[in-house]
Structure 1
């Protein structure tokens, strides 16, 4: 669609989803939230797609936040609805059965950091900045930022970032556990795509089992989570990929996984 706020390109089994509003620093308005939700629905359903990379267009921003111009005139009910819309989309990404990598090429602020945090891995350029600056607008994070930030970085760091509203650099974000890796900006795309290709070549059903166990398990009690892991572990023994992977190991050859 020519008016879509997204660019979608496939590189083998890796799908790259780019938020394409560089003139607005890729800010998330309602149309972009809906387009992202639909794009991740499509990626989840497409058997040819085994990993997704999410990034932003232009040299400045991954996603610089929610669209303030759109939010400014909302009523309380509309504000709640906008928050729910964003949270549904973020949950769609977080619950993806395929690994999603946020390639943070610039500012990831407010809704942009919230979007990055719902991805499974976050790779940042050394020039990137992240933060939750909503306090400076008289707002609070509304797309899950207070909750995912506390779970990723801990309560003290979440309180600091949300209460003070100041961005931090990529190195500090890595220290806090908000991003997994920091790379020179010139190497970001190539290294992220290499990592995505590695994930795309892995056993798809095992990947899904790991994602389900870690994402779901982090939201429930330990005993229930351990039972869930055991059930998933047993279930994977019914797959051809498990038989192929173990046979390849014993035969000292590279496995060929097909997601069955």
Structure 2
């Protein structure tokens, strides 16, 4: 697939997926959804890629859904067939995904940002859920992310107010991992991505799997589910390599096996 709305760059073990509709403030249209989904799939399949970073080129991360072009309205069909596969490709990625937000992420773009495993924001950036002022409810899984990340009362406050929620508050509430000075955002994000790339890929994959599943389970069920996944990791070559590296006092060389 030739990309028209995003720009994909692979540097060493990092894949950078940049939203690239600058004239439209990176508004998310049908083509962008399809292209992000495709780029995510290719990144997961690429054995050289260890970490995926989603960011916005130009003046902002994204102004949200493009109601003027490509996606005519937030109908059930559009949400199910266009937005959902894109958002789940990020959330369910077996490789770690970082979202790097500068300026703002509005509406469904904030749901995209929260679908990533890690969210880094420049200290002047904000997220915004303006749905209620349009007579709509949050979509793209935004309600789910908010209630699971910050609780029902604070989630409803953000939804009803429609106010800008700035990076420092996002970090304090647990929506974002870090609020970073804007001139250091790229450098700090890349440093974290490089660190992730040195970790055991299978362990990261199954840690994500365990956390996602645990939100549906009781404590006892979660312990049993962890035990099942731990059995997989303990039989891996990565576990044997990590154990040997520890004994030999060196850094392990993981091979995803």
TM over 0.5: yes
What is aligned with 1:81? 77
What is aligned with 1:220? 217
Q: Secondary structure at the match of 1:93?
A: helix
Superposed, 1:1-260 pairs within 5 Å as 4-59=4-59, 61-70=60-69, 73-74=72-73, 79-84=75-80, 85-260=82-257
1:221–1:31 Cα change, 3 Å: farther
Give me the TM-score of the superposition, normalised by structure 2. 0.95
Q: Judge conservation of contact 1:106–1:129 (CA < 8 Å) in 2.
A: yes
1:199 Cα deviation from its structure 2 partner:
0.6
Between the two proteins, the alignment pairs up a number of residues equal to 256
Give me the TM-score of the superposition, normalised by structure 1. 0.94
CA distance in 2, matches of 1:193, 1:145: 26
1:72–1:101 Cα change, 3 Å: closer
1:113 Cα deviation from its structure 2 partner:
0.6
CA distance in 1, matches of 2:4, 2:218: 41
1:32–1:73 Cα change, 3 Å: closer
Provide Cα deviations, 1:146-184, integer angstroms capped at 9, x if missing partner: 111111111111101111111111111111111000110
1:225 Cα deviation from its structure 2 partner:
2.3
CA distance in 1, matches of 2:3, 2:16: 18
Gaps of 5+ in 1: none
CA distance in 2, matches of 1:116, 1:57: 14
Q: Secondary structure at the match of 2:4?
A: coil
Gaps of 5+ in 2: none
CA distance in 1, matches of 2:163, 2:75: 23
CA distance in 1, matches of 2:171, 2:42: 31
Provide Cα deviations, 1:184-240, integer angstroms capped at 9, x if missing partner: 000000110110011111111111111111122223333322211111101111111
CA distance in 1, matches of 2:134, 2:71: 10
Q: Judge conservation of contact 2:130–2:163 (CA < 8 Å) in 1.
A: yes
Provide Cα deviations, 1:5-33, integer angstroms capped at 9, x if missing partner: 11000111110000101111111111111
Q: Secondary structure at the match of 2:75?
A: helix
Q: Judge conservation of contact 1:71–1:79 (CA < 8 Å) in 2.
A: no
